[in-house]
Structure 1
Amino acid sequence: MAPGELARIEPAGQVEPWKPATCGPTGFADLPLDNKELEILDEVIDGAERVTGLRFSAYLGDLGADSRATALGLHAGLGSDAPSAVLLALSPGQRIVEVVTGTVAALRITDRAARLAVLNVVSSAGNGDLQAALINGIRTLADQAGTLPDRSSW
């Protein structure tokens, strides 16, 4: 067991890591976010894309045994947008956050900026608010990327 990890003692004397229960919104047991929450997330992503000129994508769900490979595959699935895309992937059940940037996006979003976004996601997800976790992560990444330069004068 890792330092600082909570444990529970089973009747047989075995110690197992404590895992909080996760649940979805009422009435949407198989969906982590309801329609209104998805609309708000979509508005945040749209705003981030308008301001930065980058493509933002969010994934919420299980990332499998190799979370990085799954996140890279999801990012590659963005096709021709992948070079200028940023993927924020959150797997609350696994307690994993992955940020993947394309080659163009990586010029504007540093590893330090991605780590800051991950800290914001973890902070909100730790409180159980998955929508806020994704929104805070996208906003942090967009803030770190900065605004799209005005090209009308070029």
Structure 2
Amino acid sequence: MLAAQESGDTGGVVTPTGRLSIARRIEPDRPRLPFSPGQLARVDEAIALSTRTTGLEFAVYVGGLGEDSRAQAEDMHATLGARAAEGVLIAVSPGERKFEIVTGDEAYRRIPDRSCQLAAMSMVASFKEDELIDGLIGGLRMLSDAAGTRAEARSAH
């Protein structure tokens, strides 16, 4: 004869041999996200503001970049499709201590290499202080300031 016992998330049974068999519900650990919702909102707001102000398509990627980080970042930039010419991608791999800034043809015309280098130096300084979010937001601001507004870009043509 089997005797059953239950309590909360467990269920148990005593087998005819006297052994207690217990079933427990095990919830898998949820993966820990690298950013809080508030941090994500700050980055999203900075991306939206940079995009709206400049007319360029800004994007941020945080994750692995692999051996050839430049090629990987350029491949990601290409996924912007028709907007790739106006695209600016900041790709950061904190674990690999690598990052890349990729600009499309139109974005490059408005954000020269020197501006990208200055933004990169600013981001590196923040990253060294473990301020990934502040570094990304600062970099976005510097790049969008260098690009100027949509109206300024039209009048320069």
Do these two structures clear the TM 0.5 threshold for a shared fold by scoring above it? yes
CA deviation after TM superposition for structure 1 residue 148, in Å: 1.2
SS in 2 for 1:63: coil
Q: Map Cα deviations across residues 82-131 of structure 1 (whole Å, 9 max, x no partner).
A: 11010011111221120000011111000001101111110111100111
Q: CA–CA distance in 2 between the matches of 1:55 and 1:138?
A: 11
Q: Which residue of 2 aligns with 1:110?
A: 112
Q: Which residue of 2 aligns with 1:54?
A: 56
Alignment length (residue pairs): 126
Q: Matched residues, percent identical? A: 45
Q: Which aligned runs of 4 or more in structure 1 are off by greater than 4 angstroms? A: none
Change (3 A) 1:118 1:104: same
Change (3 A) 1:77 1:92: same
Q: Which residue of 2 aligns with 1:90?
A: 92
Q: CA–CA distance in 1 between the matches of 2:64 and 2:33?
A: 12
Alignment of 1:99-138 (within 5 A): 99-138=101-140
CA deviation after TM superposition for structure 1 residue 134, in Å: 0.8
Specify the code of the residue in structure 2 equivalent to 1:108: R
Q: Map Cα deviations across residues 40-64 of structure 1 (whole Å, 9 max, x no partner).
A: 1111111111111101000111100
Q: TM-score, normalised by structure 2?
A: 0.75
Q: CA–CA distance in 2 between the matches of 1:50 and 1:117?
A: 19
SS in 2 for 1:56: strand
Q: CA–CA distance in 2 between the matches of 1:116 and 1:96?
A: 16
Q: Which residue of 1 aligns with 2:76?
A: 74
Alignment of 1:36-51 (within 5 A): 36-51=38-53
The answer for unaligned runs of 5 or more in structure 1 is 1-26
Structure (1/2) with the larger helix percentage? 2
RMSD over aligned Cα atoms: 1.9
- The structure whose Rg is larger is 2
SS in 1 for 2:91: strand
Q: Does structure 2 conserve the Cα–Cα contact (< 8 Å) formed by 1:90 and 1:96?
A: yes
The answer for unaligned runs of 5 or more in structure 2 is 1-28
Q: TM-score, normalised by structure 1?
A: 0.76
SS in 1 for 2:105: coil
